[in-house]
Structure formats: structure tokens, C-alpha cells
Amino acid sequence: MNLTLLLQLSISGFLLGGVYSLIALGLSLIFGVMRVINFAHGEMMVWGMYVAYTILVWTGVDPFFSFIVSAVILFILGYILQRTVVNRILDFPEAMQVLPLVGMAMVFENSARIIWGPDYISPQSRFALHSLSLGDIIIDTPRFLAFSLAIIITIIVLLFLKNTDMGKSIRAAADNRTGALLVGTNVNKVYAICFGIGTACVGAAGGLLVPIMPLSPHIGAPFTLISFIIVILGGMGSLAGAMVGGFIIGVAESIGPELITNLFHGIGLDLEFPHTMKQVVSFFILIVIMILRPQGLFGGKKG
Amino acid sequence: MKRLTIFLLIVFLILLVLPKFLGSYWLGIFIMIFFYAYLGQSWNILTGYTGVISLGHSLYVGIGAYMTFLLTLTLGLSPWMGMWIGGIAAGLIGLVIGFFGFRFGLKGVYFVLLTISFAEIGRLIVLHLKVFGSFQGLFITPQFSFANFQFRENTPYYYIALGYVIFSLIVVRIMERSKIGRYMVALREDEDAAESLGVNVFRYKMIAIFISAFMTSLAGAFYTNYLYYLHPGTMMSMAFSIEIILRPIIGGMGTVLGPVIGSFLITPLAELSRTYFAKAGYEGLHLVIYGFLLVAVVLFFPRGVISYIKKAIAPVLGSLK
């Protein structure tokens, strides 16, 4: 097996993992506070991507700056969604909470398709073809930038939760809804803002992904699934878990297909495990983790 | 009760003679109504009666379709035989999923994710297999004959699809009135209480997922031989799973007639709006509407349309039970 290739793939997966972490952070935040799974997460990310893309086409501003606009717009969308739909389903049985959000996922996916068309687009942003080289290892500049910015955003969100009044209210509402109500927190507002922050995270991540991968209205669902996998791997509601899970899944998806192909060849099978099947690696990890450690790597109590 | 039976018989008789009066286009729409009513009913067995949500039922449709096709291709087996083998294969996969899910106590969202994962793994594997046409999909050259399940006209498909629906209604009705069905409803309403009264929750969930997967996959054989085109991107996708669950949810989960009513309401709308919006250049708009419908139904009529229909027809037909 080629070690340089493996290292190369690991690094590129690790960098993408930083963005995955940010996506999963949003999902985990929403789940941790409201106990609701945002099944429209990936589709909302696609909206973030299209916002950044539209800004790039109209004004030429690079997605590495305009991701902020994506985050703001997605914050507003998330806030409205929480107020109109999510807030009404909080007390539903868990299973019935899934369906309205799946419905919203369809709305986001197909409205994006109507607005921006069904085709794949790879916008040419400024750093698109740049790369840095470290010895034998080549690092994509856009990937590295996306990674750095994602980490910075993640740290800002964590600091916000830790230090500001709103952040403290969010954590209070997550810990004990009734308690927070009793001490006079406006829980509905806190929930809506928290949902907004969760979707703003995924919107920013979408903006950061524009220079890295082609966008189409239909790439959302895999990202929804990947962020679930990360959150379950890390532990539902655990923010640290979401970050570590992001890196694990990023690297696993990147080197998994290569390793499995080598394994096939090693045992004498003439089979390839193509990169387009990398999600199978994640799903496999999901199934194993759900069965062996359903509380996730960092989860305290079960489920 | 009696008046309801008579009413249903009249509906059935009307449906029997309907092809005499309908053109090919409308026959096609009725075929889709029956097709989705059948699929919804199959999903209803698992989710409606036991409360375990599956969002991966497209996997079973895929297994049924590809198994039937593959058996015809390699062994020359008629789809009429192959579909049962496909059904058993899908049922076994359902048991595997059920074993992982129920044995390890995955509930609610976790089980939903498990079903999605298996469906996606299945889709990706099929998408990369050369036997199944890989990314281009698979075109089937029809050879019209009864044994091949392939017909030139829509009329035979109409009767077959109607047969599917009647079959599923009978299965669900028998199941509902049997002990198995009652145990399923009991564990749906309160799993712990049911278990404490001695219901083997694991066993009845496994039975439900087996029957549900088995029946869903039979629809795959119909799909193959009706459309002559197989592609995992359409038939094994999550979007198709959502199509399957939409009708029973709107009609009313956990009822015998709910999926059928839901399909009669939604399928014509879906088919007409799809062609209409596609012509107007808004391809996908019908899916946006679906999405909002799904939200609205769960928010405002969580028990489905059937509960309103029940109330409305009670004075005329007696209570629907």
C-alpha cells in the first residue's frame, strides 16, 4: 500500500472533517436543546451553498467571505422554521417529529431546484486551483481555508454558548426546560434563536464548501445523513463529540475506500471499492456504533 | 357495518368495469393509485400497526424488482414465480434490519436512521454493480405475454394492480383481527405495558417487518414489468421511500382503508401536477407541495383524513370500524 497516498488522503479527509464538524455542531446543538432532529439539515446547507454561489456570480465576492451572508440568511430561515413548524412538534412522539422535517427537507431541496436549476455547478472561485505542498503531500488551498474558517466559527459558537447571556439561556433551556421557564427565561425565543444558530452553522459550512465541491439541489440528503452519523458517533447533544466525530468520519470516508480496495486485493478478490461508495463506510460505522455503543463516543447516558 | 360492506362491494364493482370507460392515460393514473395504495398498505403494516417508523422501504421495492429481473434473466423464471423469491429475500433483509434494530432497542429516530442506512447502502451497491446497468440503469425489452408479466395494453396492468390492492386489504384485515394484529397495536400504544402483560414485543415486531418487507417487494416485480426501466436513483432513493409513506400518513396510519383513501386523494393530484408543472417549467414544484402537505397533515390532522371521513359518513353507512 502506498503510504504517501494514504497520508495525502488522510489529510484531505481531515480538512474536510473540519467542515463536517461544523455541520454536525449545528445538528447537535439543535438536538441537545430541543430534542428534535433536523431532518432538513443537509438541504438547508445546500441553500447556504447557493446563497454563497449567487453572491459569487452577481458580485464576484469570494465564498470565503460571503459565507457570512449564508449564515445570516440561514439563521433567519431557521428562526422562522422553528417558530412555525418545529415549536409545534416539540411534544409530539419522537417518531412523528421526523415527518414534518422530512417534509421541509423536500421543500428546501425542490425549491432550490426550481430557483437554481437541477444541474451540477462548479463555480470558479479565486483559490479554486491553488495548492500548497509539504514535501510529497499536496494540500488544496480552498480545503485548508475552509477547514481553518470552520474551526474558527466552531470556536466562536462555543465561546458564545459559554460566555454570553443568550448562550447561558440556551444551555439552561437545554438542561431543564421547566427550570428555565421558572426563572423567567423566554424559552420559545431561546429555542428559536438556538435553532437559528444551528442552521446558521450549517449555512456557513455550505458557503465554505462552495469552492471545494460541485453543488446541485440534490446533494443535501447525504449531508443530512452524514451529520446524523457524526452526531450519533460523537454522542447525541455532545458538542465535543460532534467535533471529534466530524474528523473521524472525514478521514474514514477519505481513506476507507482505498483501504477496503487493498483489503479486497489482499485476500485475492479482484474488486474495487470506488470512491463514490465512500458513504457506505460511514453507514457501516453508524450501524456498528448504534449497536455497540448507542450513546456514542462522548455520550454520557444511553440514547 | 353491513352497509359499509355493501358500499365497498359497489366501489369494487365500479372499479371492475371502469377500464371499459377510461382511456389509456386515465388507466395509467388508476394503476398508479393502486400501486401506491398497495405500497402504502405494506408500509402501514409495519409503521401504522407497530409504530416503528421505517424510511427505508424503497430498499424492499428494489430487492423485489432486481431479484425478479435477475431470476428472469439468468434462470428464465417467470416474474410470477420470481416475485415470491424476491419477497422472501426482502423479508429476510427486513429481518436482519429488524434484528439489529429491535434486539438492540433502537427506537424512534435511531430506528429511522438504521432503515435509511440500509436503504442507502443497498442503493449505492446496486448503483455500482455492472449487472444492474450501473449508472445508466437498466432498460428491459418487453416480450408481451402473460407468463412474462408484460402486456401491450394498460388494461391487464390495471387488473393486476387492483388485485394487489385487494390482496393487501385482505392481508391487513385478517392481520388486524388476528391475535398478531392486536399484539402489534398493543405494543404500539405502550410497549412496556404490552411487554409486562406477556406480549413478546421482539417477536411481533419481527413478524411485522417481515410481512411488510415481503409485501413491499412484491410491488417491485410490478414496477419492473410496468415501466421496463430500473434505476436505483429513482426506485431505491429516499425520495421514493417518502412517496411510499406519504399516502398512508395522509389517509390515516394504522387503519385498513387509510392508505387506499390517501392514495386516491394524493396520486391523481401528484400525477397531474407533476406533468402540469413540468410542462410549465417548474419541475419539482409538486415535490415542494408534497413537503408542505406532509408538514400540514402532521401538524393539523395527525390521525389522517380517514378520521374525518368516518365522521362524515357515519350517518349514511354506519360507523367505520
Q: How far is A170 from chain B (nearest CA, A)?
A: 23
pLDDT > 70: what percent of chain B?
98
Q: What is the pLDDT of residues B285-317, one digit of tens each?
A: 888 888 888 888 888 887 888 888 878 877 776
A41 occurs within a structural domain? yes
Q: Is A23 in contact with A147 (CB distance < 8 Å)? A: no
**pLDDT reading at A215 higher than 50:** yes
Amino acid at B19: P
Q: Which residues of B touch A110 (CB under 8 A)?
A: 284-285, 287-288, 291
Does residue B163 sit at the A interface (CB-CB below 8 Å)? no
Question: What CATH number has the domain bearing residue A222?
Answer: 1.10.3470
Determine, yes or no, domain membership for A303.
no
Residue A122 lies in a domain: no
- Cβ pair A98:B120 closer than 8 A: no
CB < 8 Å to A217, chain B? 284
Give the three-state DSSP class for B57. Answer: coil
The confidence band for A47, taking pLDDT boundaries of 50, 70 and 90, is very high
Note the pLDDT tens digit of each residue in A159-181: 988 888 888 888 888 877 778 77
pLDDT the model gives residue B243: 85
State the nearest Cα–Cα gap between A134 and chain B, in angstroms.
Answer: 35
Cβ of residue B129 closer than 8 Å to a chain A Cβ: no
Question: What span, in angstroms and rounded, lies between the C-alpha atoms of A232 and A242?
Answer: 8
Q: Which residue matches cell numbers 466525530?
A: A245
Q: What is the pTM of this model?
A: 0.86
- Cα B48 to Cα B151: distance, rounded to the nearest angstrom: 34
pLDDT at A303 over 50: no
- Nearest to residue B309, comparing CAs of B262, B254, B244, B243? B262
Interface A-B: count of C-beta contacts within 8 A: 123
Q: What is the pLDDT of residue A198?
A: 92
Of B118, B283, B288, which has the smallest distance from its Cβ to A107's Cβ? B288
- B241: nearest CA partner in chain A: A102
B121/A284 touch (CB, cutoff 8 Å), yes or no: yes
Summarize pLDDT for A83-142 with one digit per residue, the tens.
998 888 888 877 678 888 888 998 999 999 888 888 888 887 666 667 777 777 788 888
User: What is residue A302's predicted lDDT score, i.e. its pLDDT?
Assistant: 43
User: Strand (E) positions, chain B?
Assistant: 138-139, 229-230
CATH of domain B2-8+26-317: 1.10.3470
Best A233, A283, A292, A302 residue to mutate vs chain B (most B CBs within 10 Å): A283
CB distance A85 to A104 below 8 Å: yes
**Which stretch of DSSP H or E encloses residue A136?**
none
Measured from the Cβ of residue B299, the count of other Cβ atoms closer than 10 Å reads: 17
User: How many residues comprise chain A?
Assistant: 303
Conformational region of residue B287, where left means phi above 0, alpha means psi within -120 to 50, and beta covers everything else: alpha
Q: Answer whether residue B92 shows pLDDT above 50.
A: yes
- Top-confidence residue, B274 or B85: B85
- Using DSSP, state whether A121 is helix, strand or coil: strand
Find residues 81-120 of chain A whose CB sits inside 8 Å of chain B: 85, 88-89, 92-100, 102-111, 113-114, 118
| Whether the Cβ atoms of residue A154 and residue A26 lie closer than 8 Å to each other | no
Cβ of A138 under 8 Å from any chain B Cβ? Answer: no
**Domain range holding A275?**
14-109+138-292
Say yes or no: B249 contacts chain A, CB-CB below 8 A. Answer: yes
Cβ neighbour number for residue B195 with a 10 Å cutoff: 14
What pLDDT is stored for residue A34 in this prediction?
Answer: 85
DSSP B99-141: HHHHHTT--HHHHHHHHHHHHHHHHHHHHT-GGGTGGG-EE--
pLDDT tens, A216-263?
888 888 888 888 889 888 887 788 888 888 999 999 988 888 888 888
Percent pLDDT > 90 in chain A is 22
What's the pLDDT at A241? 85
At A189, the amino acid letter reads: K
d(CA A222, CA A230): 12
Confidence of residue A289 (pLDDT cuts 50, 70, 90): confident
**What does the pLDDT read at residue B136?**
74
Residue A9 maps to a domain: no
| Model ipTM value | 0.81
Asked if A287 reaches chain B (Cβ–Cβ under 8 Å), the answer is yes
**Residue B211 clears pLDDT 90, i.e. is over it:** yes
DSSP strand E in chain A: where? 131-134, 137-140
Single-letter code of the amino acid located at A272: E
Most confident of the following: B59-68, B186-195, B222-231: B59-68
Q: What is the DSSP letter of A86?
A: I
Residue A301 has pLDDT above 80, yes or no: no
- Decide if pLDDT at A80 tops 90: yes
**pLDDT for residue A276 is more than 80:** no
Nearest to A9 by CA among A138, A115, A187, A135: A138
B290 shares contact with chain A (CB less than 8 Å): yes
Across the interface, of A95, A103, A104, the residue whose CB is closest to B53 is A95
Q: Is A114 a member of any domain?
A: no
Q: Is residue A245 part of a domain?
A: yes
A62 in reach of chain B (CB within 8 A): no
